[in-house]
Structure 1
Amino acid sequence: MQPSPLVGEAPDEGEEEGRLLLRFAAPRDPALIAKWISYQVFNTERQDWRRGLEAAYRYRERVGDLEVPYDHVEGAYPLGRWLSDQRRAFRAGQMTGERAAELEGLGIVWDTADAGFAENLAAARAYYKLHGTLAAPRGAAVLDVAVGQWLTNVRRPGGLGKDPARAERRAAALAAIDPDWNPGEHGWTVDWQRHYAYLAQLLEEGARLAAIVPGVTRHGEDIGRWLTTQRRDWARLNEEQRRRLTDLGVKPARVAHTRQTPGKTTAAPTSGRGTEAFHKGLQALAQYLDREDRLPARGHVEHLPDGTAHRTGVWLANQKQRRNRLTPDQLQTLANLGITWARS
């Protein structure tokens, strides 16, 4: 019997084996035809693996990691979707150890929770490139990710995960993008941090401080009006806020001095447990205001990043009752967070 004529085009390198199966088979031998089809499917899958791995390598070389958004296309290759398929195969135990080792060598993150965090982190990194800060408003979005809401969520107690090691690792990843990603830890709001960052950017780009007046904006924010408010309310800023603004050349607005009738006051402690308790209460209040944008009820308990629970509602009520015993700096800090009774 003569061998069957070659079916289709001449084989590419690596495909000769499949072609030979048909060359020496009867034209309608179903077993060998099925084997040939199976070989073709295997070969196509192998070629797809090679293309995916090459795309992953190019991305890692360019970006430095494999935190690839799901919809990312590397060249013409759907790398984000391909990596998602590989994670699915790995979890199902359908991936060879050799392939898993290749992807691990490139830095793939197998854990689905970490993969989701990595995708949002990539969006946060893209937002930072555009805005120079992670103090995004809650409605901000980039790369089809609601990055503003995501950042609000991760700033909440437990928002970085219940596992302490994982939470620490994630906080470090955010801090590597923007050390001030969680301004509540400093005692001020995300809104204040965003305006401060934009002011610093304007000055770095050559703007004169005297020219940043109400109406001068950046990314839609009126930086001039905000700056005027900071100068006017300088006494209400905390020490670190004043230091940062001073480093930019900002000075408080000049005010007319009036004679005050001396009054009997009792100064609050400036060191020790009283100051530490005040700072903790301030941290809890700033965290709550950043999340809820309203004052806490008297019975509210705020959970801090260190795992402690703080009776923030009761604490705030106590500060109001002992207002005359608070130091000017403490009153100023509370006023800066929007506590009206703390204002002069």
Structure 2
Amino acid sequence: MSYEHLEGAYPLGRWLSDQRRAWRAGQMPSKLADDLDALGIVWDTADAQFAENLAAARAYFAEARTLAAPRHATALDKPVGQWLTNIRRPGGLGKDPKRAKVRAEQLAAVAPEWNPAQLGWTVDWQRHYVGLAALLNEGALLTGIVPGVTYRGDDIGRWLTRQQRDFHRLNDEQQTRLTKLGIEATAAPAQRPAPTSASDGSKSRTAVAGMTRSADAFRRGLAALAQYIEREQRTVIPRQHTEPITIDGQDHDVRLGVWISNQKSRSDKLNSEQLAQLAALGVDWV
């Protein structure tokens, strides 16, 4: 209820705000407090806002069967998609650990998998997976779910094609879930032939070294991103920003804005673990 809410001509919103102020100051008669408790009044305004958004999340889940909402999603006239994105970020459930734990439990009661990053994949993956399962439950055949077949606005067919193509890059749980739906890799990844000459061996070692450098660069970027978010409490990073960081006793200057842009442009080449690590920091590009 907003502060300006009127019940007829009576300023009910202002009256309720006054009662909350009196309750916080310890000036409310216990009988009145008990009566208001019986009506389900939430005394803390932050908790009241959370309760309103949680109700919107319940409404969204009742329709979509998931809380993996896109950012633009709304329910009960509330921007539930953006709210869910915000609370999945580090510290998004509040700085008080007890309150954060209670809120996480309330969300889990609506949808145990409300935060897919904890499972090792992104919100986008979770939503498409739920969409695929829904289509199959409605009687669709896997062979008929081709690019262009959608569910609630998402192209499930195109997503399914990517999962089959990149099956070997998914984590074990993702593979298990897809296998239960009858999905397998379209083809096994090609085996890398053993070096047959000194030249081939040199090329192989160069490729491995390149992969190692790429993994190290990702690790530095991820650490710099986590440090930046913890300090600034936001995930919007100016492209020109450079973040100094120390890893294993070595100092690095990470061009964080450029690094984030690069990860976004090559997100289809990141593995599920890397995507989940980014999503856990609130970066999922959904």
Q: Using structure 2 for the length normalisation, give the TM-score.
A: 0.64
Q: Tell me if structure 2 keeps the 8 A contact 1:120–1:145.
A: yes
Percent of pairs with identical residues = 50
CA 1:147/1:239 → structure 2, altered by over 3 Å: closer, same or farther?
same
CA 1:296/1:116 → structure 2, altered by over 3 Å: closer, same or farther?
farther
CA distance in 2 between partners of 1:338 and 1:90 (Å): 40
CA distance in 1 between partners of 2:124 and 2:158 (Å): 13
Q: List per-residue Cα deviations over 1:222-242 (Å, max 9, x = no partner).
A: 101100110011122122211
CA distance in 1 between partners of 2:237 and 2:116 (Å): 15
1:260 positional shift: 2.1
Equivalent position of 1:231 in the other structure = 164
Equivalent position of 2:243 in the other structure = 299
1:108 positional shift: 2.9
1:164 positional shift: 0.3
| Structure 1 gaps, min length 5 | 1-68, 72-76, 269-277, 302-310, 318-330, 340-344
Q: List per-residue Cα deviations over 1:286-321 (Å, max 9, x = no partner).
A: xx8xx66999977388xxxxxxxxx9x69xx9xxxx
Is residue 2:69 matched to residue 1:136? yes
Query: For the aligned residues, what is the CA RMSD?
Result: 4.3
Q: Tell me if structure 2 keeps the 8 A contact 1:230–1:252.
A: yes
CA 1:236/1:202 → structure 2, altered by over 3 Å: closer, same or farther?
same
Equivalent position of 2:85 in the other structure = 152
Equivalent position of 1:180 in the other structure = 113
Q: Tell me if structure 1 keeps the 8 A contact 2:145–2:156.
A: yes
Q: List per-residue Cα deviations over 1:18-64 (Å, max 9, x = no partner).
A: xxxxxxxxxxxxxxxxxxxxxxxxxxxxxxxxxxxxxxxxxxxxxxx
CA distance in 2 between partners of 1:135 and 1:294 (Å): 27
Q: List per-residue Cα deviations over 1:53-81 (Å, max 9, x = no partner).
A: xxxxxxxxxxxxxxxx669xxxxx89xx9
1:103 positional shift: 2.8
CA 1:90/1:294 → structure 2, altered by over 3 Å: closer, same or farther?
closer
1:114 positional shift: 0.3
Q: List per-residue Cα deviations over 1:98-128 (Å, max 9, x = no partner).
A: 2321232354321111001101111111111
CA 1:295/1:231 → structure 2, altered by over 3 Å: closer, same or farther?
farther
Q: Secondary structure at the match of 1:207?
A: coil
Amino acid paired to 2:109: A
Is residue 2:187 matched to residue 1:248? no
1:198 positional shift: 0.8
Q: Secondary structure at the match of 1:92?
A: helix
1:192 positional shift: 1.1
Q: List per-residue Cα deviations over 1:123-153 (Å, max 9, x = no partner).
A: 1111111111111111111212111111111
**Quick one: which of 75, 85, 89 aligns to 2:19?**
89
CA distance in 1 between partners of 2:142 and 2:240 (Å): 37
1:245 positional shift: 1.1
CA distance in 2 between partners of 1:336 and 1:249 (Å): 24
Alignment of 1:189-208 (within 5 A): 189-208=122-141
1:97 positional shift: 2.5
Q: Tell me if structure 2 keeps the 8 A contact 1:236–1:332.
A: yes
Q: Tell me if structure 2 keeps the 8 A contact 1:234–1:242.
A: yes
Q: Tell me if structure 2 keeps the 8 A contact 1:70–1:119.
A: no
Q: Tell me if structure 2 keeps the 8 A contact 1:215–1:222.
A: yes
CA 1:336/1:155 → structure 2, altered by over 3 Å: closer, same or farther?
closer
Q: Using structure 1 for the length normalisation, give the TM-score.
A: 0.55
Aligned residue pairs, count: 230
CA distance in 1 between partners of 2:152 and 2:13 (Å): 34
CA distance in 1 between partners of 2:126 and 2:165 (Å): 18
CA distance in 2 between partners of 1:231 and 1:243 (Å): 13
| Structure 2 gaps, min length 5 | 196-203, 212-218, 230-234, 246-251, 260-269, 279-286
Is residue 2:272 matched to residue 1:333? yes
| Higher Rg of the two aligned structures | 1
Which protein, 1 or 2, shows the higher relative CO under an 8 Å CA cutoff with sep ≥ 6? 2
1:254 positional shift: 2.6
